[in-house]
Chain A
């Protein structure tokens, strides 16, 4: 069960808003400072570890850049959206960021409310309104990857890539 405060965003929130092009080759630490710089300056100082992003349609449209990693590094506990862009979803799976498609979720929450997410039941509850929504199923192979910290630990264990001891700790 994940239970946290919600930050609401609109439709088509794109990768460049989460990770601007001029910061594409900056360090993870620097990239983390500029999330939503153009559309919501100062947000990175307000968000608390574990907080949940609620988006509308096509969350994460755009680039292959590791925007999901920046959200994980900021400490975002989950992304819930009416629909999620396929490329952003791949990065969420691979970087171990919880990202669920929950039709109707944007309309069901106001900013600052608390969402309760059950990954066992794949449901999202807004306790303030009493509304419960169903998340779309995620194939088991992908959900396992997402919840086990992404693809890197697996590639390391199998000897495909060198372990990176400098990797930042996983999100809480």
Chain B
């Protein structure tokens, strides 16, 4: 019996001929991404040795620019750490700033066939690059950067095959809402994406889907490689890699067909995305206080383009705060050059620097008591973006942008 994509990556990275569900694979880590949270005074530990500084990337994203004194002290501590160990790939506040997983995408730090970890649950975002990328805890990170290794329990894999093509206005976020709404959680399972329609999904669309793998509670969310991906990576990173395709006789827990052309615009109701999606037209007239587009899931240039298309020439409804956070400063500049930022700001959006900020209720857009938000970001858990009494609906950038204009949840076609 053959292996799935991640099984092949684990086999290579653990020096074995094959691995199978139920195994524990102790693997060499190719890239370990440390975030500003690692250096925060309330959580950091003093690291004495690193296995290989060349394998480490340091990216400040959660609390940037530093909104308080403790974060500022932690970030200064981290700069000294970077200097001491001679870490070359460092993304501080400035032109190279961005949300970790988005920076990884911009620079192609996640190589096909490789193993990447980061102490953030949305690390699976880099599964878009045919990489076995997994969010770990902060202690795992300390273990991996000092020993060079980590462990993965090998889980069974569910394979999704894409067919057809998304209708205009239906996005990768809607594909995710369909999968979460229809199939629910994938605890202790991997998901693998591919199929004949893979080429119809842009790299940014794949990133959205892979990122949201965390919200399916999948162990790994990994895309099959194709020419689009290989070209993308080679344009950005000259390091050698060996992409992994699943074996023809790979063993899957289930194999599911997704007809992209049949999918509709969906919204997840508050508190969970698990079997909680409904067509946006069926939600009723839900008045909103805040509309947010951003995060590692929806801060791509595609997302900003879609939001700008929807709000072009219109004005945000009175009483609505429309916040937009590009995934990286590089994406911000690209959106500026393309005119998207001007369109968004003229419509009344507040565009923030690249940060995890509002998505995790950290800063720059925290919700107050009893407020209602529609978000194109990663999570709608109770209390996620601020006060526990706030309601968070999750939707695509187009739906969020349209809702900001209407002042209530609405399908983008209805304000066109």
- Is B373 positioned at the interface, with any CB of A under 8 Å from its CB? no
Contact check, B383 vs A17: say whether CB atoms are below 8 A apart.
yes
Contact check, B381 vs A25: say whether CB atoms are below 8 A apart.
no
Find chain A residues with CB under 8 A from B302 CB: none
Which residues of B (384-415) have their CB < 8 Å from a CB of A? 384-386, 388
Which residues of A (22-73) have their CB < 8 Å from a CB of B? 22, 24-28, 37-39, 57-58, 61-64, 66, 68
Find chain A residues with CB under 8 A from B146 CB: 155, 158, 160-161
- Is B7 positioned at the interface, with any CB of A under 8 Å from its CB? no
Q: In the complex, what residue of chain B is closest to A94 when comparing beta carbons?
A: B139
C-alpha spacing A16/B139, complex, angstroms: 19
Contact check, A139 vs B70: say whether CB atoms are below 8 A apart.
no
C-alpha spacing A161/B187, complex, angstroms: 32
Q: In the complex, what residue of chain A is closest to B36 when comparing beta carbons?
A: A25
Contact check, A12 vs B151: say whether CB atoms are below 8 A apart.
no
Say which one of A1-9, A83-91, A115-123 lies at the interface with B: A83-91
C-alpha spacing A68/B187, complex, angstroms: 18
- Is B369 positioned at the interface, with any CB of A under 8 Å from its CB? no
Interface SS of chain B: helix, strand, loop or mixed? loop
- Is B336 positioned at the interface, with any CB of A under 8 Å from its CB? no
Contact check, A66 vs B187: say whether CB atoms are below 8 A apart.
no
C-alpha spacing A171/B185, complex, angstroms: 31
Query: Within the complex, which residue of B70, B155, B217 is in contact with A58, where a contact is CB–CB below 8 Å?
Result: B217
Find chain A residues with CB under 8 A from B379 CB: 16, 62
C-alpha spacing A164/B139, complex, angstroms: 14
A-B contact pairs, 21 of them (CB 8 A): A21-B361, A21-B383, A24-B62, A26-B42, A61-B217, A62-B379, A64-B120, A64-B135, A66-B139, A83-B187, A84-B187, A85-B217, A87-B121, A94-B139, A94-B143, A142-B151, A150-B139, A160-B48, A160-B49, A161-B48, A162-B45
B interface residues with partner A (beta carbon < 8 Å): 24, 26, 37, 40, 42-43, 45-49, 62-63, 70-71, 119-121, 135-140, 142-143, 146-147, 151, 153, 155, 185, 187-188, 214, 217, 219, 272, 274, 360-362, 366, 379, 381-386, 388
Nearest 8 A-B pairs (CB), nearest first?
Answer: A38-B388, A94-B139, A160-B146, A21-B361, A162-B46, A91-B137, A139-B24, A58-B187
